[in-house]
Amino acid sequence: MTEPKVLPPVLLIGASSDIGMQLAREFARAGHPLILTARETEVLEPLASDLSIRHSVAVQLVAIDVLHVPEARRTIAALTPPPHIAVCLVGLLGDQQQQQRDPDQARIVIESNFTGPAAILEAVADVMAGIDAPTTIVGVSSVAGDRGRARNYYYGAAKAGFSAFLSGLRQRLTRSQTTVITVKPGFVNTRMTAGMDLPPALTASDIACARLIKRAIDRRQLVVYPWQWRVIMTVVKLLPEEIFKRLQF
C-alpha cells in the first residue's frame, strides 16, 4: 500500500488579512500543514479550528509583528518544522493626506509595506537555505509601486521598494532551490479598500486573489499580475512623465 504524500508546511505572514484567510483555505484544501501569523493570533483561532477539522491539517498560530523586526526574525528562525513555502501578505494603505502631514504616519506605512516585510523575508530565506528541497518565497506587492501617483505615493513608494527587494532576492537566490515570486494583484475588494470607489471591472475578490497566488506558486512564476493589470501597467509605465503628471487616476 502506497504511503500518502506528505505535503510541505506553508507559512502565511499576515494571515489575518482577507486574502491571507482565503489563501489559508486554498492550501488547507490541498492538504498542506499551515503556520499562520498575525500580531494578535486570537483573531485566527476560529479559522485555525475550522481548517484543522474540515481538512485534517495541522495549523500553528504564531504571533509576528513586522514593525518589531528583531523579535520577528528570531521567531522565524525558530519555526518547527521550517516552512517550505512562505507568503508575505502584510500591507497598510493608510491615509495619504495624513502621511503628508505627519512623518510618523509615513514611516509606519513604509515600515509596514517595505522594511519590515523585507527583513522578515530575509530571515525566511536564511531558514530555507538549510532545507534540501525546492522552496518558495512570495511577496505580495502592488501595482501602486510601478509608478507613483498623487493619491497614494507613500504606499506606492514602499511597495516599489518591496518589489525591488524581491527582485534582488530572486537574483541572489537564483542558484539555490528557492524560487522568489512577486505578486501584484491590483484592486482587491477587502477590508483595506472598504469605502473606496473602485472600478468593478478591475476589482478582484479576495478569493480570486488567493487563487492567483496559489497558481503562481504551483507554476513557479516569477512576477505575476492579473492579465488586465499587466496590460494597464505596461501602458502606464510607458507614458512620458510630462503627460503622466497631468493625469488624475
196: exposed, middle or buried (Cβ count in 10 Å: 0-12, 13-18, 19+): exposed
In a domain, 226, yes or no: yes
pLDDT digits (tens, 9 = 90+) for 40-59: 999 999 999 999 999 999 99
Classify 46 as helix, strand or coil: helix
Asked, for residue 1, whether it belongs to a domain, the answer is no
- CATH code of residue 197: 3.40.50.720
pLDDT-derived band at 188, boundaries 50, 70, 90: confident
Check residue 1 and give its pLDDT.
Answer: 46
Residue 50 lies in a domain: yes
| pLDDT reported for residue 213 | 96
- Please indicate, yes or no, if residue 198 is contained in any of the structural domains: yes
Number of domains comprising the chain: 1
130-161 pLDDT per residue, tens:
999 999 999 999 999 999 999 999 999 999 99
Cα separation of the two ends of the chain? 60
DSSP state of 5: P
Q: What pairs with residue 138 in β-bridges?
A: 87, 181
With cut-offs at 50, 70 and 90, classify the pLDDT of residue 60: very high
pLDDT at residue 3 above 60?
A: no
Q: Is residue 16 in some structural domain?
A: yes
- Give the per-residue pLDDT at 199: 67
7-39 confidence digits (pLDDT tens): 999 999 999 999 999 999 999 999 999 999 999
DSSP-assigned states of every residue in 198-237 = --GGGEEEHHHHHHHHHHHHHHT-SEE--HHHHHHHHHHH
Could you tell me which residues are beta bridge partners of residue 224? 183
For residues 210 and 19, the answer to whether their CB atoms sit within 8 Å is yes
Which residues are CB-contacts of 26 (< 8 A; sequence separation ≥ 6)? 210, 211, 214
Beta-sheet pairing, 223-224 with 178-183: parallel
Answer yes or no: is 27 within a domain. yes
CB-based burial label for 97 (10 Å; 0-12, 13-18, 19+): exposed
Judge whether 2 lies within some domain: no
Condensed to tens digits (0 to 9), the pLDDT of residues 61-111 reads 999 999 999 999 999 999 999 999 999 999 999 999 999 999 999 999 999
The confidence score (pLDDT) of residue 192 equals: 67
Domain that holds residue 234: 10-244
Q: What is the pLDDT of residue 247?
A: 87
